[in-house]
Amino acid sequence: MTKTIGVVLAGGNSTRFGEDKAFFKIDGRPMYSHVAGALEASSAIDEIVISTNQRLADCFDGLQTIVDDVFQDDGPLGGLYEVAKAFPGDRLLVVSCDAPYVSPEWLSTLYRKAVGNPDALVITKAADRLHPLIGVYQGADLPETIRQLLDARQLSMHALFEERGMIEVDAVSYGINDGTFVNMNRKTDIRFGGDESGEYYR
């Protein structure tokens, strides 16, 4: 039976942020914890793992970590490969650690779309922009496909999209505010908040 694995990507060096952004606290909680909480609240996953590097592997409060040793300097594609290899044939619901406002309802939407299209990658689109690191990666050949790209030094997520079928899911059509997908690349990006209803605002 295919499982759905919630994957928090947290293996980058956070060069632009100035410190390890996975652990930067927003509302008293580190960013990775916000993302893990959204995955848990989506009720779409069977378990959560953190994709990270060896330096940070013991820093996630007991959550299971998948360490990217071989392709640690090859960006999110390298981290995604290690998880796909660890969970062959399973569905990976992926969110980068720097998207702390991601909506659990949206993750549930992606999950449902992926279940109905088991051979396709399911990627978030909002305000005419793709968010490759908020999506579902699946398919029995996923590890092999990613490994071929890594070996060929094709390291962009778009290279993977060109190899595999992809479905873009437009958040606007579901009434989801695109502020929920903001990436915290720099500390100046931390300007969003939310109220108890789940609505997000600048």
pLDDT confidence of residue 107:
98
Phi, psi of 38 (to 5 degrees): -65, -40
Does the pLDDT at position 191 exceed 60?
no
More confident residue, 70 or 113: 113
Does the pLDDT at position 194 exceed 60?
no
The Cα–Cα gap between 27 and 125 comes to 27
The reply, when asked if residue 73 is annotated as ligand binding, is no
Q: What is the mean pLDDT of the chain?
A: 88
User: Residue 119 is which amino acid?
Assistant: D
Does the pLDDT at position 42 exceed 70?
yes
Asked if 35 and 95 touch (Cβ cutoff 8 Å), the reply is yes
In angstroms and rounded to an integer, the radius of gyration of the C-alpha atoms of the chain is 16
The Cα–Cα gap between 26 and 33 comes to 10
69: number of Cβ within 10 Å: 9
The reply, when asked if residue 9 is annotated as ligand binding, is yes
**HSE value, Cβ hemisphere, 13 Å, CA-based, for 153:** 0
The reply, when asked if residue 21 is annotated as ligand binding, is yes
Torsion sign over Cα 114, 142, 7, 132: negative
pLDDT confidence of residue 198:
35
pLDDT confidence of residue 192:
47
Does the pLDDT at position 69 exceed 80?
no
Asked if 25 and 96 touch (Cβ cutoff 8 Å), the reply is no
Q: List CB contacts of 135: < 8 A, sequence separation 6 or more.
A: 93, 94, 110, 121, 122, 123, 124
List C-alpha distances in Å: 192 to 97, 99, 198: 16, 11, 12
The Cα–Cα gap between 8 and 36 comes to 7
**Per-residue pLDDT reduced to its tens digit, 72-115:** 778 899 999 999 999 999 999 999 999 999 999 999 999 999 99
pLDDT confidence of residue 184:
74
**Per-residue pLDDT reduced to its tens digit, 127-164:** 889 999 999 999 999 999 999 999 999 999 999 999 98
Report the candidate in 128, 102, 124, 131 with the shortest Cα–Cα distance to residue 41.
102
The Cα–Cα gap between 111 and 136 comes to 7
The reply, when asked if residue 125 is annotated as ligand binding, is no
pLDDT confidence of residue 71:
83
Q: Where are the domains of the chain?
A: 4-191
Output DSSP code: residue 53: -
63: number of Cβ within 10 Å: 16
- Class of the CATH domain delimited by 4-191: alpha beta
Output DSSP code: residue 198: S
**HSE value, Cβ hemisphere, 13 Å, CA-based, for 163:** 21
Q: What is the pTM of this model?
A: 0.89
pLDDT confidence of residue 162:
93
